[in-house]
Amino acid sequence: MTAHLSEATRQLESAAEAALHAPSVFNTQPWRWRITGDTLELYADPDRQLAATDPEGRLLLLSCGTALHHARTALAAAGWSSTVERLPEPARPELLARVHLGPAVPADPEAQRMAAAISRRRTDRRAFGDQPVTDETLTRLRRFVEFEGAYLHVVPGDQVPALAISTERAAGAQQDDPAYREELARWTSRPQGSGDGVPPTTAVEPALRRVPIRDFAPEGNAGLTAGAGVDKGAAYVIVFGLTDQRVDLLRGGEALSALLLLATAEGLATAPLSEAVEVAWSRYALTGLLAGIGEPYIAVRLGYPLDREPLPPQARRAAAETIEIERDPS
């Protein structure tokens, strides 16, 4: 960050840089930021939408919502207030949010805990062990998700097979689609230095699991093994909302970010499971797990990993590629 920038611009730039760590489908990082004075604007990047996997852009909006929440969390942790306008200009659908920086305030201790987890959080596709996630922890996660305007369904044990079947059948349908296979190949073999995608070094070999995970290395060159566990102690949750309107999907992404960051701060490993919501009929099947009262946005696996070895670093795009600063002409 350059010294001649205003304090507001510096704080917003720092928040946008924190958002570089946000999770996204296939690690596409489909967002752009623009800073003008005390305003930070979030834009969707349609060139990074997955045409086969995410034709309606639902996961793109969720991904951008995670970035928005990361930025908000960084500001609150640094002791700055902010207000957010979501979808402020209907005629400009790519403009997803405006964050207006407010006055300095006492730093939020909970935001500081979550901000400290931003750089540590990883999607952990390895198997989790037998230690269960406590009801107390799940209640705290639910409260944070609801604060962001979404809801959290904890999948009970008798519903886990239905989640597994929906996930497995959706994955099978995708593998039968040449367009999906081409898209998967493109985002798992990104050019050197691209800073995005899911390289084989971070993929996990297929293994017996309570709910299957996506095979990011179908050529058999996964860099990680699942380990000895079978996710016996894992908790499965579904982030959902009442509608699939764009603003609700964006807020669902913010809720997903809150869930992942708080879980990381609590010592849990996390892995979003989006396969079952990527295919329309399997997504509809998940509404049955919600008693028909909501629109499922994404499932997440939570638990304690057996393997404590640190995961390989996630590829991230450079700040200069995603953050534009409008310079003061004076």
Q: How high is the pLDDT of residue 322?
A: 97
Q: How high is the pLDDT of residue 229?
A: 85
Q: Quick check: 52 and 177 in contact, CB under 8 A?
A: yes
Residue in this structure with the two tokens 């406590």, named with its chain if needed: 134
pLDDT tens-digit map of 274-301: 999 999 999 999 999 999 889 999 999 9
Q: How high is the pLDDT of residue 308?
A: 78
Q: Quick check: 100 and 128 in contact, CB under 8 A?
A: no
Q: How confident is the model at residue 305 (pLDDT cuts 50, 70, 90)?
A: confident
Q: Quick check: 61 and 253 in contact, CB under 8 A?
A: yes
Q: How confident is the model at residue 175 (pLDDT cuts 50, 70, 90)?
A: very high
Rounded Cα distance between 298 and 283, Å, is 9
Name the residue among 270, 253, 198 with its Cα closest to residue 19. Answer: 253
pLDDT tens-digit map of 131-145: 999 999 999 999 999
Q: How high is the pLDDT of residue 68?
A: 98
Is residue 258 helix, strand or coil? helix
User: Both tokens of residue 292?
Assistant: 């028909």
Q: Quick check: 61 and 43 in contact, CB under 8 A?
A: no
- The residues facing 318 across adjacent strands are none
Rounded Cα distance between 27 and 213, Å, is 16
> Among the residues of 154-208, which ranges form H helices?
160-175, 178-187
Q: How far is CA 174 from CA 71, 179, 190, 295, in A?
A: 33, 9, 20, 21
> At residue 214, does pLDDT exceed 80?
yes
pLDDT tens-digit map of 144-155: 999 999 999 999
> At residue 241, does pLDDT exceed 50?
yes
Name residues whose C-beta falls within 8 Å of residue 147's C-beta, 6 or more positions apart in sequence.
Answer: 258
Q: What is the rounded average pLDDT for all residues in the chain?
A: 95
Between vectors from CA 21 to CA 16 and to CA 27, what angle results, nearest 5°? 115
Name the residue among 16, 64, 31, 41 with its Cα closest to residue 253. Answer: 64
Q: How high is the pLDDT of residue 268?
A: 97
Residues of the chain above pLDDT 90, percent: 89
Task: State pTM to two decimals.
Answer: 0.96
- The residues facing 35 across adjacent strands are 40, 325
> At residue 5, does pLDDT exceed 70?
no
User: Both tokens of residue 309?
Assistant: 């070895």
Q: How high is the pLDDT of residue 2?
A: 41
Q: Quick check: 303 and 235 in contact, CB under 8 A?
A: yes
CATH numbers and ranges of domains, the chain: 7-121 (3.40.109.10), 135-303 (3.40.109.10)
Residue type, 188: T
User: Which of 4 and 51 is assigned the larger pLDDT?
Assistant: 51
Is residue 234 helix, strand or coil? coil
Between vectors from CA 166 to CA 288 and to CA 198, what angle results, nearest 5°? 125
Rounded Cα distance between 50 and 74, Å, is 28
Q: How confident is the model at residue 3 (pLDDT cuts 50, 70, 90)?
A: very low
